[in-house]
Amino acid sequence: MEILIAKNAGFCFGVQNAIDKAERVAEEGRGVYTYGPIIHNRQVVENLKSKGVDVKDDIDEVKEGDKIIIRSHGVPKKEYEELAARGSEIIDATCPYVKHIHKVVEEKSKAGYKIVIIGDPSHPEVKGINGWCDEKAVIINGEEDINKIDSKLHRICVVSQTTFNEEKWYSIICRLVRMAREMLIINTICNATELRQKETMELSKQVDVMIVVGGKESSNTRKLFEISKSNCDNTIFIETAEELDLSLVKGAKKVGITAGASTPDYIIQNVVDKIKEIDVENEKVSSKEVLKDND
């Protein structure tokens, strides 16, 4: 059996950066919190708790002197102000790519553009972006939302949730182009998402069994599962190695592994190690990273 691991499986740069920051701050002392769970992965949140980084979900729980880490998704502008007004120390771990979107929507809304965000309105990143243009953006999650756009509007500036599906983005943009006299299009889909989706697409066509590892709450991991399932019927979605039923993998010649941007390397490695247990029954198992040449 051969195990093929997608090269970019697991943490993206923004998530890694946020977790590193949280761990560094925790080393300096107590009273460290993330504002909401740092990522959609229970194991990572629990691991941080064991190192002294707890979670505060509600701004009303924040007290003077708390060190509050803003996660990679970012938050609305008014929440920075409120956190500061409560006397907390803000440690900003917003991903720089998300920060860039905040800057764009703030500038362009002030310049008179109507901001359109293509993304999921319930996602914290989208709520955060909307909070940098006075929460006046039109949010489009699918083509059915396009009639929210006031056809009398002349100037619109369109940005995207960083993890939005690229194909869906292009089809929405094509519809919007016909409705606006002046349209500023800023494609803010993150390369990390695109890479993981492309690798999953390729890998799932080559293997007998595909394993997608990540939090059940993670939208980018769910998306990888959907992509994989469309090519490989034997796609399994697991959160940890413990959930893996080896009988579903046994007998496969090639097993592919991919993981969402919020899955730590050690969980991926645990899955690989668990599959290697099949070796005990004399089935030779080797693993390697694939798709290196696509960089």
Q: Give catalytic residues, as residue numbers.
A: 125
Q: Can residue 258 be called a binding residue for ligand F3S (CB under 6 A)?
A: no
User: Based on CB atoms, which residue is closest to ligand F3S, 100 or 254?
Assistant: 100
154 is in an annotated binding site: no
Sign of CA dihedral 124, 130, 136, 141: negative
Q: Which of 35, 97, 113, 225 binds ligand F3S (CB under 6 A)?
A: 97
Residues 242, 42 contacting (CB under 8 angstroms): no
Characterize the bridge pairing of strands 53-56 and 32-35: parallel
From the DSSP assignment, how many helices (H) and strands (E) are in the chain?
A: 9, 13
The answer on whether 123 is annotated among ligand-binding residues is yes
Per rule CB under 6 A, is residue 44 in the interface with ligand F3S? no
Q: Report whether 17 belongs to an annotated binding site.
A: no
Q: Establish if 72 lies at the interface with ligand F3S (CB under 6 A).
A: yes
Q: What angle do CA 81, 35, 71 make, to 5 degrees?
A: 95
Spatial CB neighbours of 27, under 8 Å, sequence gap ≥ 6: none
**Gap between the Cα atoms of 14 and 188, Å rounded:** 14
Binding mask 4-23 for ligand F3S (x = CB under 6 A): --------xxxx--------
Write out the two tokens for 144. 């059915």
Window 261 to 280, contacts with ligand F3S (CB under 6 A): 261
Q: Is 286 annotated as a binding residue?
A: no
On whether the CB atoms of residues 15 and 72 are closer than 8 A, the answer is: yes
| Smallest separation (angstroms) from ligand F3S to the CB of 279 | 34
Beta strands 114-118; 138-140: pairing state: parallel
Any contact of residue 164 with ligand F3S (CB under 6 A)? no
**Least separation in angstroms between CB 113 and ligand F3S:** 22
Distance, in Å, from the CA atom of 178 to the CA atom of 205, rounded to the nearest integer, reads: 37
Nearer to ligand F3S, 14 or 131 (CB): 14
Site membership for ligand F3S, residue 131 (CB under 6 A):
no
In the range 166-225, which residues lie near ligand F3S by CB under 6 A?
Answer: 190, 192-193
Whether 95 has a binding-site annotation, put simply, is yes
**Choice between 66 and 193, CB closer to ligand F3S:** 193
Q: Which residue sits closest to ligand F3S, CB atoms considered?
A: 14
Binding span for ligand F3S by CB under 6 A among 56-64, 95-103, 113-121, 175-183: 95-103
Q: Helix 96-110 crosses helix 13-28 at what angle (to 10 degrees)?
A: 110
Work out whether 75 is an interface residue with ligand F3S (CB under 6 A): no
Smallest Cα–Cα separation from 214: which of 62, 42, 6? 42
Q: Are strands 138-140 and 254-259 parallel, antiparallel or unpaired?
A: unpaired
Instruction: Say if CB 207 and CB 232 are below 8 A apart.
Output: yes
Which residues are near ligand F3S by CB under 6 A?
Answer: 12-15, 72, 95, 97-98, 162-163, 190, 192-193, 261
Annotated binding site for dimethylallyl diphosphate: 40, 73, 123, 218-220, 262
Annotated binding site for isopentenyl diphosphate: 40, 73, 123, 218-220, 262
